[in-house]
Amino acid sequence: MQYKWTVLSNTTIGVLMATIDGTIVLISLPAIFNGIKIDPLSTGSFQYLLWILFGYSIVTATLLVTFGRISDMFGRVRLYNLGFAIFTVGSFLAYLTPSTGSLGAMELIVFRIVQGVGAAFLWSNSAAIVTDAFPANERAQALGINMVAALAGSLLGIIMGGVLATINWRLIFLVSVPVGIFGTAWSYLKLKEVVSVKRHQKLDYWGNVTFALGLILLLVGVTYGLQPYGASDMGWGSPGVIGALLGGAALLVAFPFIEMRVEDPMFRLSLFKNQAFSAGNFAGLLAAIGRGGVQLMLIILLQGIWLPLHGYSYQSTPFWSGIYIVPMLVGFVIMGPISGRIADRRGARFLATLGMVVTGATFILLSFLPYDFAFPEFAVIIFVMGLGGGMFAAPNTAAIMNASPAEQRGAASGMRATIQNVGQTASLGVFFSIVLIALAASLPGALGNALTSAGVPQLAATFKQIPPTNALFAAFLGYNPVAATLRAAPASLTSSIPPATLAYLTGKDFFPTAIAPAFMSALRLTFYIGGVLSLAAAVASALRGRAYVHFEEFKGTGMPADSGPRAGGKQPGAGGPAVDPRPN
């Protein structure tokens, strides 16, 4: 097997494993909390729920740029291999989680953070290692396969979590261990450094601390802003949340000024002088914000409303929501490698731009669906959305990496992945906030009217006190929100309810029908925002300029070294950048 295919195979397994573990807990949370003996719907445990959900992605997003920069200094393959090993250890520790209760939750959070550290090494180096191994005229297809593995992993994680959690919650972490052991051994035995490292460079301590602390504060602020605070349904008014957001923003604003003054900056701001690099990253950021929360929003729509209305028990909805999202994965899997291969021949601009236009159109189409939609229509729309995502991801990633000098690819890969992860996390915060604000305004009245119509107005006051966050997460976790509320209600209120009425209230139709109008109005707003951001990403993509490959990459591609105009007047052999003579 040629070395480049060994690289692609190993990095694809690494990316697949990391993304599976990014989402596998989404469906498994009820089983996890039951296993460590914590009620996930109690107020005190909500912070554990959020950190088990988002701690992995927060740690990964925070470390990507730092690890990419360090990899340029000490070797991408060396630190990629280390990431495989760390991830495997973290998975095994999460499987072991010895304690229960609050201590068990804290242990699991720490072990998930260890996994996140390993995933950050994998993510920050995989695209750079593939770029090192493949010539420019084959790179987009190879990166397309990596992108397919990333999305496939995020959806496979949901399905695997649903299956394994029904057997034993510990299996959702154990499943990564044999894969991790195999991948670690394979990478240590077969991968090698292709680009020489520059060990004389200095580590940018001030930049690393400023960026990491600023990003952590910002993402933690967004995470805790989703929690109830005092009498408010959300935490955006909490002094701690406000302080975290302002402090994080201040540090991130200071960060580029620090980077302009250090000798060897971690964040290579000079790369953004390259139009292909900056436009590709800006388009990627807009795309990530636009679509980052849509998968979770669609899962909540399926679990909280559509699946119960179509006869599925709340306990089974987490698994089936993953199954019903599969058309999006199929679309991405089909188009990712195809678009990469076309981009290798024709350049990234047209395909990436068209992909974002298609994605924007599917957001608008989703906004026309009723809450009790016909599944074939829904499946076609999300399938086309997957096609649009696949059409954008591989060409855009290849264009960014092609524009990066060989000695800075680790930093460039980390910057690209960080921008994407921050966009996705910010998207979750924005989309959740929109939905929760809308529900806070209309859910109490909707539930009150529904209870009055059902002949139990005495319960209206009790149900008005349900925070929208709790109601949404109850459905998301596979619990019946009404049944959970009635169990906690005083017996004096529930003892007089006729059995037939009680069965109706706790059945599959009452809650979805009551919540649907408020939820759908908010969800449509998120679709409009996603559509606008996708179209803005299309504009940014169109402004990336002609197909561009850094000069030294022409060697071995079959193209003349002196083809096309040189950026900056560099001559062949001078190591400068070059415009790729391929069409746009």
Question: Which residues, in sequence order, are bridge partners of residue 548?
Answer: 579
Question: Which residues, in sequence order, are bridge partners of residue 549?
Answer: 578
Q: Give 559-566 contacts, CB < 8 A, sequence gap 24+.
A: 559/137
Gap between the Cα atoms of 191 and 67, Å rounded = 18
Placement of tokens 């295919």 in the chain? 5
What distances in angstroms separate CA 130 from CA 58, 220, 393, one per listed residue?
A: 25, 32, 15
Residue 557: predicted pLDDT? 41
Residues with Cβ within 8 Å of residue 268, at least 6 apart in sequence: 408, 411, 412, 415
Residues 388 and 510 in one domain: yes
pLDDT tens string, the chain, 584 residues long: the values are 588 888 889 998 988 888 888 778 877 887 888 888 887 666 667 678 778 877 887 788 778 777 877 887 788 888 999 999 999 999 999 999 999 888 998 999 999 999 999 998 998 888 888 888 888 777 777 877 887 787 778 778 877 887 888 788 899 999 999 999 999 999 999 888 876 665 566 777 788 788 888 878 887 787 777 677 777 767 778 888 899 889 988 998 898 888 888 777 776 777 777 788 888 888 988 988 888 777 778 888 888 889 988 988 877 777 787 788 889 888 988 888 888 788 777 778 888 899 999 999 999 999 999 999 999 999 999 999 999 988 888 888 888 888 777 777 777 777 787 788 778 777 877 787 777 777 777 777 777 777 788 777 777 777 766 666 666 666 666 677 777 777 767 777 777 778 888 888 888 888 888 778 878 888 888 899 899 999 999 999 888 866 666 655 444 444 333 333 333 333 333 334 444 444 44
Residues 308 and 166 in one domain: no
Q: Is 233 part of any domain?
A: no
Boundary-marking domain end, from 136, 160, 193: 193
CATH number at residue 318: 1.20.1250
The string of DSSP codes covering 502-564 is: HHHHTSSSHHHHHHHHHHHHHHHHHHHHHHHHHHHHHHHHHTT-S-EE-GGGGTTTTS-TT-S
CATH number at residue 92: 1.20.1250.20
Residues 281 and 172 in one domain: no
Q: Is 323 part of any domain?
A: yes
- Beta carbons of 183 and 191 less than 8 angstroms apart: no
Residues 320 and 445 in one domain: yes
Q: Is 258 part of any domain?
A: no
Q: Is 186 part of any domain?
A: yes
Residues 189 and 312 in one domain: no
The string of DSSP codes covering 98-123 is: ---HHHHHHHHHHHHHHHHHHHHHHH
Residues 480 and 340 in one domain: yes
Residues 436 and 545 in one domain: yes
Q: Is 64 part of any domain?
A: yes
What distances in angstroms separate CA 170 from CA 92, 108, 318, one per listed residue?
A: 9, 11, 17
Q: Is 474 part of any domain?
A: yes
Gap between the Cα atoms of 418 and 421, Å rounded = 5
What distances in angstroms separate CA 247 from CA 211, 238, 314, one per listed residue?
A: 12, 14, 40
**In this structure, what are the phi and psi dihedrals at residue 37, rounded to the nearest 5 degrees?**
60, 55
Structural domain count of the chain: 2
Residues 189 and 281 in one domain: no
Q: Is 557 part of any domain?
A: no
- Between helix 375-402 and helix 349-367 the angle, nearest 10°, is 150
Residues 152 and 281 in one domain: no
Residues with Cβ within 8 Å of residue 320, at least 6 apart in sequence: 162, 302, 307, 312
Residues 1 and 137 in one domain: yes
- Beta carbons of 93 and 114 less than 8 angstroms apart: yes
pTM, whole model, 2 decimals?
0.78
Residues 20 and 145 in one domain: yes
Boundary-marking domain end, from 160, 193, 226: 193
Gap between the Cα atoms of 221 and 241, Å rounded = 5
Q: Which domain holds residue 343?
A: 273-549
What distances in angstroms separate CA 256 from CA 69, 163, 201, 259, 272, one per listed residue?
A: 15, 45, 19, 5, 12
Residues with Cβ within 8 Å of residue 272, at least 6 apart in sequence: 278, 281
Residues 185 and 304 in one domain: no
Q: Is 584 part of any domain?
A: no
Residues with Cβ within 8 Å of residue 384, at least 6 apart in sequence: 331, 358, 361, 362
- Beta carbons of 465 and 231 less than 8 angstroms apart: no
